[in-house]
Amino acid sequence: MPGAARTPAPASMPPQGLPGLDSRFSRIALVPDSGDAIGTTRGWHALDNGAELDRLGVTPVGTILCVHGNPTWSYLWRELVQQATDVAATGSGDAWRVIAVDQLDMGFSERTGVHRPLAQRVRDLADFTLAIGLEGPVVTLGHDWGGVVSMGWAVDHPELLSGLMLLNTAIHQPSDAPIPAPLRLALARGVFGQATVATPAFLETTLALGHPAVSRAVKDAYRAPYRGAARRGGIGGFVADIPVDASHQSFAELSRISSALRRLTVPAVMLWGPRDPIFSDRYLDDLIDRLPHADVHRFEGAGHLIAEDVDYADALLTWLGDNAARVTTGAARSEQPTEDYADTVATGSKAALVEKASDDAGTGAAASDRPLWHYLDELSDSGETALVEMNPGNGAEPRVVSWKLLSRRVREIAAGLAGVGVKKGDRVSLLVQPGADLTAVLYACLRLGAVVVVADAGLGLPGLTRAVRGAQADHVIGAAPGLAAARALGWPGQKISVTTFPRAVARALGISHTLAELVRDGRGATLPEAPAPSDTAAILFTSGSTGPAKGVVYSHAQLGAIRDTLAAQYGVGVGTGLVAGFAPFALLGPALGARSVTPDMDVTSPKTLTATAVAQAAAAVDATVVFLSPAAVTNVVATADALTDAQRHALAGVQTFLSAGAPVSESLLAAAADLMPNASAHTPYGMTEGLLMTDISLDGIRAAAASRAVGGVCVGTPAASVQVRISALDDLGQPTGEPTTEAGVTGEIVVSAPHLKSNYDRLWMTDRASRVGTDSAFADRRDAGDASPGAVSAAAAAASTRTRWHRTGDVGHLDEAGRLWVEGRLPHVIATPDGVVTPVAPEQRVESLDRVARAAVVGVGPRGTQQIVVIVETASPARRVALADRELTSSIRGVAGVPVAAVLEVPRLPTDIRHNSKIDRSGLSRWAADVLAGGRMRQP
């Protein structure tokens, strides 16, 4: 350790007036040192709201023990100390004492002059809690290397511990992976002392990691205890203590803690900022592996200084509230539970949901016990066609795959994958275009129990990268472009190619295996045991059109329930010829026993699908069912003139036609139906979280139009086994109402079905928000914690019979006939002084004007007093953005049915690229607010 670091100095109080830090919370504790310097006393500075709680006359339910990392100090936790104290003062929740220490040699604690390796630091913290007489229950909270120290304390104090909270940290350095590059640099000979102690470089680098940037005043507060090399010895000591390999002094202690962690069953939560150059998702993945019951939330966009980037304090206090019964009671039972008990408790929130899901599915439809690969087994000797790929590439002839071949290929690939280490529960990212290869690989993964990660190419490369990184795939199976991207962008996981490359290319792409090898090696090999219905089957990423892409987790039972709902709703079964032009449903063809065909199209651009391609595909399998996306339907209608008589004949055989993905207009659906004169045309309502919630036929759309009802797009009646409720909006547009089936109530659409998602992946808060107020899942968990092992199982069983609900984020109402009408997205609800206004109905009325092609109705100004603005794309598009002319403004005010403050005309309304139909009202609202406040007339 550099010389300056050996200079001792006593503990001191932080200067007054640091932003966000109330000096009342600072205290100095004198703690006997149990280390090498027995007999000496160490001065600790800590933030502690204990005295303030006493003053308020509040008895805390427990203590949150916070440990900062390197090179920060207890200032990191100021917001939690403040919020917890505020909650205690107002009585708005449980009162928590918060103690945030400055570790020795750090912050304003004593400079001991002695190097303190990890084991010493863990002992130091124990000395501190002993000296101040800390009693349980204690929930630990750690960040960065403070996470490690806090976990060390946690495993050593089972009698006090009732919960574990972590922000970006790590507990294990895999032997096969190098430590993160920035730290390698900091540790390099010659750089180390300079970077960490002699200069404030390490400190400054860390402070630069805020997203958004940390303010100057806050940075200064972080710097306050580290002015001068003599005060920075601890920073260098910490960096030197990173156990780079097994020979390191602290390796044994790290291993001890990381192993002991697996035995912890107390509730745990991890909040993570993925933009962290040090503690990447890899370390989160490792922690999840050790604490599988933990609730996890990744804050997309946040980074290493997550405590500065997001409102972590509110998130943690919310989590503590949800888990109150367990984290506020004595912790003795959490130590070394019996095996049975561990199994039950360890399933925790996430797994319990999966369990419930499988039960739901069991009661939902009789066929649900059939695995997704049922027909691959049943038809394994059938020479009938299972799949047709119209354009396998390079202008080749259509590829026809029999059930027999598909079945065998799936088994071979599954066995081959098992042979190269793909296990049940492993995450496999699929970067393969729809077609025979994707289908075979998908069913092979399902059969193995590997979790399929599917991200829509429509997310774009940045979105896709975030998705794949976030999901932490263990394996990537892809074709050339996907693998090249995976390589270039450093996506994690073993790379498997569906095509065979020259050795050099394969090496360059980091490919370890090819599909051909897997098939060869898997031939005749025995398959591992099949997964259970409750096991996770897939993670589907949402389009991102309604926010950042989210991973949606489905179990086998839930995917089976989707299959069964599709079968029941559209009569797809064994032998049905199915044109699979809509990816999520298309992949279920083999599960349905259908003969499915992938039309010749660029899947990343559904609007390129032509009528001819659909007709050729239909002819190839004698299709009776056609699934298309809305963008594809538009183009199919536009290219219908090119159809030959034979092709029209093939389309005449279609009995059911489905446009899935977003609502389409009656005229478009009717035009498509004209091409399939014997088909009943349908459009379903659903979302990635629940793919088929309601359905409406073309006749239904016409009947709804004839009913002259006001307000939104009619999406029909609930599909089999689906329940729809409405949670009414308050004056500010918040869906606070108790979910109801009452007709005419406008509010958030809340759905339930056996085929609903299990949960969001690593988005505990999002998941919580999607269920809040719809069930008592949180209460169930708390109760479970309180009870004996037997009662826990009983509670779990009771919970499993309860219905799972999902808040869709869509707003609408039910009518007297039980039909659902969608009126827009929740964030698009306009909260005016006269009440809430949903956009879709006034948009439709405005669009009824001849001069208007498309309209968006948005709000500007503060919620509760918002003004309504109409933005239009005119039939003959405007050349530039402007206020609409007097006549148009006046006619729009005349029909809108709501008070209109302003009408703006734009050349083109911005829409979501993937669907080419969803108008970006949130963006338009921000744009209109700027223009109407006197801002520049720029393009939206």
CA distance linking residue 284 with residue 270, whole number of Å: 8
Q: Select from 82-90, 250-258, 686-694, 925-933 the region that touches other proteins (CB under 8 A).
A: 925-933
Neighbours of 694 (CB within 10 A): 23
Q: Which spans in 169-280 are helix H?
A: 181-187, 192-193, 201-207, 216-223, 233-240, 251-261
Backbone angles phi, psi at 478, to 5 degrees: -155, 175
Q: Does 791 bind other proteins (CB under 8 A)?
A: no
Stretch that binds other proteins, among 289-297, 539-547, 576-584, 929-937 (CB under 8 A): 929-937
Read off the DSSP letter of residue 195: I
Instruction: List C-alpha distances in Å: 163 to 84, 141, 268, 882.
Output: 16, 9, 6, 57
Query: In Å, how far are 451, 484, 509 from 512, measured between CA atoms?
Result: 20, 13, 9
430 close to 407: Cβ distance less than 8 angstroms: no
Joined together, the tokens standing for residue 836 give 């809430």
- Report residue 831: phi and psi, to 5°: -100, 95
User: Considering the rule CB under 8 A, would residue 134 count as an interface residue with other proteins?
Assistant: no
Distance in Å, CB of 931 to other proteins, minimum: 5
Q: Which of residues 341-360 bind other proteins (CB under 8 A)?
A: none
Phi, psi dihedral angles at 724 (to 5 degrees): -120, 135
Query: Can residue 934 be called a binding residue for other proteins (CB under 8 A)?
Result: yes
- 2: three-class secondary structure by DSSP: coil
Q: How far is the CB of 887 from other proteins (least distance, A)?
A: 11
For other proteins, the binding residues in 848-867 under the rule CB under 8 A are 860-862, 864-867
Contact status: 185 vs other proteins (CB under 8 A): no
Which of 177, 524, 886, 887 lies at the binding interface for other proteins (CB under 8 A)?
A: 886
| 894 contacts other proteins (rule: CB under 8 A) | no
Closer to other proteins by Cβ: residue 376 or 888: 888
**Closest distance of CB 872 from other proteins, Å:** 14
Nearest distance, CB of residue 908 and other proteins, angstroms: 19
Q: Could you tell me which stretch among 110-118, 397-405, 741-749, 897-905 binds other proteins (CB under 8 A)?
A: 897-905
883 binds other proteins (CB under 8 A): yes
895 contributes a contact to other proteins by CB under 8 A: no
Nearer to other proteins, 852 or 903 (CB): 903
Task: Give the HSE-up count for residue 157: Cα atoms under 13 Å, Cβ half-sphere.
Answer: 28
Binding mask 365-404 for other proteins (x = CB under 8 A): ----------------------------------------
Q: For other proteins, which is the closer residue by CB, 137 or 859?
A: 859
What are 12's two structure tokens? 């001191």
Applying CB under 8 A, the span of 48-56, 297-305, 418-426, 882-890 interacting with other proteins comes to 882-890
Q: Quote the tokens at residue 197.
A: 């102690």
The least distance separating other proteins from the CB of residue 939, rounded to whole angstroms, comes to 13
Name the residue nearer to other proteins (CB basis): 696 or 904.
904
Phi first, then psi: what are they for 839, rounded to 5°?
A: -75, -30
Nearer to other proteins, 511 or 871 (CB): 871
Closest CA to 237 of 395, 124, 85: 124
Of 298, 109, 79, 178, nearest in space to 766 by CA: 298
Binding mask 804-843 for other proteins (x = CB under 8 A): -----------------------------x----------
Nearer to other proteins, 56 or 895 (CB): 895
Contact between 169 and other proteins per CB under 8 A = no
Q: Is 898 in the site for other proteins (CB under 8 A)?
A: no
Beta carbons of 334 and 328 less than 8 angstroms apart: no
Could you tell me the smallest distance in angstroms from the CB atom of residue 830 to other proteins?
12
Quote the least distance from Cβ 855 to other proteins, whole Å. Answer: 17
Cβ 889 to other proteins shortest distance, Å: 7
Which residue, 13 or 937, has its beta carbon nearer to other proteins? 937
HSE-up of residue 754 (Cα within 13 Å, Cβ side): 29
Which distant-in-sequence residues (6+ apart) come within 8 Å of 322 by Cβ? Answer: 768, 778, 781, 782
CB nearer to other proteins: give 294 or 829. Answer: 829
> Does 527 interact with other proteins (rule: CB under 8 A)?
no
Contact 888, 919 (CB under 8 A): no
Closest CB 935 distance from other proteins, rounded Å: 8
Q: Calculate the dihedral angle through the C-alpha atoms of 128, 130, 135, 138, rounding to the nearest 10 degrees.
A: 40
Please work out the total of residues on this chain that contact other proteins, with binding judged by CB under 8 A: 22
Q: Which of 38, 177, 396, 933 binds other proteins (CB under 8 A)?
A: 933
Nearer to other proteins, 753 or 903 (CB): 903
Q: Is 902 in the site for other proteins (CB under 8 A)?
A: yes
In this chain, which of 20, 178, 835, 899 binds other proteins, going by CB under 8 A? 899
Residue 420 CA to chain centroid, in angstroms?
Answer: 29
Residue 500 sits in the site that holds other proteins (CB under 8 A): no
925 touches other proteins (CB under 8 A): no
The DSSP code for 661 is S
Nearer to other proteins, 259 or 865 (CB): 865
Choose between 485 and 929: whose C-beta lies nearer to other proteins. 929
CB of 105 closer than 8 Å to CB of 237: yes
Label residues 874-902 b or e (16+ Cβ within 10 Å = b): beeebeebeebeeebbebbbeebebebbb
3 state DSSP class of 856: strand
* Beta carbons of 255 and 237 less than 8 angstroms apart: no
708 binds other proteins (CB under 8 A): no
Among 126, 187, 720, 932, binds other proteins (CB under 8 A): 932
Which of 889, 905, 906, 927 is in the footprint of other proteins by CB under 8 A?
A: 889
Q: Which of 388, 419, 432, 714 is nearest to 577 (CA)?
A: 388
**Minimal distance in Å, beta carbon 903 to other proteins?**
9
Q: Is 904 in the site for other proteins (CB under 8 A)?
A: yes
In terms of Cα–Cα distance, which of 585, 580, 625 is closest to 454?
585
Question: Three-class SS string for 347-368?
Answer: HHHHHHHHHHHHHHHHHHCHHH
Minimum gap (Å) between residue 435 Cβ and other proteins: 51
Among 588, 837, 931, 940, binds other proteins (CB under 8 A): 931
Q: For binding to other proteins (CB under 8 A), which residues are involved?
A: 833, 860-862, 864-867, 882-883, 886, 889, 899, 901-902, 904, 929, 931-934, 937
